[in-house]
Amino acid sequence: MSKKIALVTGAASGIGQATAERLAAEGLRVMVVDTDHEKGRAVADAIKGVFIACDLRSGADCKLVISKILKAYQRIDILVNNAGFQHVAPIESFPEDIWDDMLKVMLTAPFLLTRYVWPAMQKNRWGRIINIASIHGQVASPFKAGYVSAKHGLLGLTKTTALEGADVGITVNAICPAYVRTPLVEQQIKDQAVAHGISEEEVLKDVMLQPAAIKRLIEPSEVAEVVAFLCTDAASSVTGASWSMDLGWTAR
């Protein structure tokens, strides 16, 4: 995969950073896409990649980032739609602007980026699109209307594009992890500890990991390993799949 170009969104930290590092280790030229200029550039510099600032809420930005990469490299072989964020609130007070932003970042942006990279992948008759969904793309939790809705929609997008790409060498898959040790999740632990008046250890054990059989957080590098496999020729028969990394959450 040494001559291939990979684009990873939300790559300044967490799963995105681990994925960018893992793909770079395979010899890919990685485009680190994020809104955080300082951290994004640091990640890109460390892996000899390229940082591109992009606000995924903007359709124009989504189109521009793809056009920049294609102009510079004439190809995009791998797209990892990873960027996302959380907001927890009951439905009656869930902010409309937050709802809009969550759908833009986690559903509309993956659709647009997929749409814009599609012709180049189709021309080369080879492409890998990996959507980082969530266990919340398969099951729901209260107070997460925006996140759960976006991730459920992302699985639908994954299946549809997998069918459309089957005849032209493009595979599309989703990864559905439970809670991963990211800055986003670590902040959620702190917030819930305050909200419930309990310790962070109790939040982890009794709230977040209560449905899971394996009682631990998933490491970002574990998700990155699955991404790396899905990018290989060995995974060429895998498409339209939702890979559960849920610590046994849905086995009950």
Burial label for 154, CB within 10 Å (0-12, 13-18, 19+), is buried
Stretch (H or E) spanning 36 = none
Q: Please state, in angstroms and rounded to a whole number, the distance separating the CA atoms of residues 53 and 133.
A: 22
Instruction: Give me the half-sphere count of Cα atoms (radius 13 Å) on the Cβ side of residue 164.
Output: 13
Report the distance separating Cα 13 and Cα 36, nearest Å.
Answer: 9
Say how many CA atoms lie within 13 Å of 87 toward its Cβ: 20
CA 47 to chain CA centroid, Å, is 19
In angstroms, rounded to a whole number, what is the distance separating the alpha carbons of residues 112 and 105? Answer: 10
Residue 68 burial (C-beta neighbours within 10 Å; 0-12, 13-18, 19+):
middle
147 is catalytic: yes
End-to-end CA distance of the chain: give it in Å, rounded.
39
Which residues are catalytic, by number? 147
